Amino acid sequence: MGVVIVAGPSGSGKSHLAAVLDWPVLRLDDFYRDADDPGMPRSSLGIVDWDDPASWSAVDAVGAIAELCASGSAEVPVYDIAASRRTGTQVLAVPHGRFIAEGLFAPVIVDACREAGLLEVAICLHRPRMITFVLRLVRDLREGRKAPWVLVRRGWRLMQDEPRIVAEAVAHGCVPMSPRAARRLLAG
């Protein structure tokens, strides 16, 4: 049993890939810390910097992956992005042994998962930056994740930062590919 880590910029298709494959999914975004947690990083916009790995608990995420690999189920947090806090927990079961862990900070845990013998493969999804920007903005507006002005400014900054995000994932051992190529690889 092993985890397939799917990394990539916000809006690159990580959640969509998991849904299309119909595999159990550990949503790494559910490991964000609550907005009022002391020491949360702040962005230049004057809000919590949700793009800073310090806003997230890598230790809890790797612990959940280890538990899923060892026992086939784990109690994991449920995070409400619009409310900026955990709202409960749920039991995630992986009855067939393979599951996806996907999220913005996936590269942060690739090395730990590899060293612990938990990693099956690590992928970094990417597509043209403007397409990712538009898809992310439409999703975030539809879901009411934050105020529209925050979403546009944050999205523009993420678009400019996308080459660095992909390069960082590759440096951690993620294989870069399009969502279509990843779907073919994992479905095969």
Contacts of 144 (CB under 8 A, 6+ apart): 82
pLDDT digit string (tens) for 118-158? 999 999 999 888 887 777 778 877 877 777 777 778 778 87
Q: Tens digits of per-residue pLDDT, 21-75?
A: 889 999 999 999 998 998 889 888 778 887 788 999 999 999 999 999 999 999 9
Domain range list for the chain: 2-187
User: Is there a contact between 126 and 158 (Cβ–Cβ < 8 Å)?
Assistant: no
Half-sphere exposure of 108 (CA within 13 A, CB side): 19
How confident is the model at residue 162, as a pLDDT?
86
Q: What is the pLDDT of residue 147?
A: 79
Residue 175's pLDDT is: 97
Question: What pLDDT is stored for residue 120 in this prediction?
Answer: 94
User: How much is the pLDDT for 48?
Assistant: 84
The CATH topology of domain 2-187 is: Rossmann fold (3.40.50)
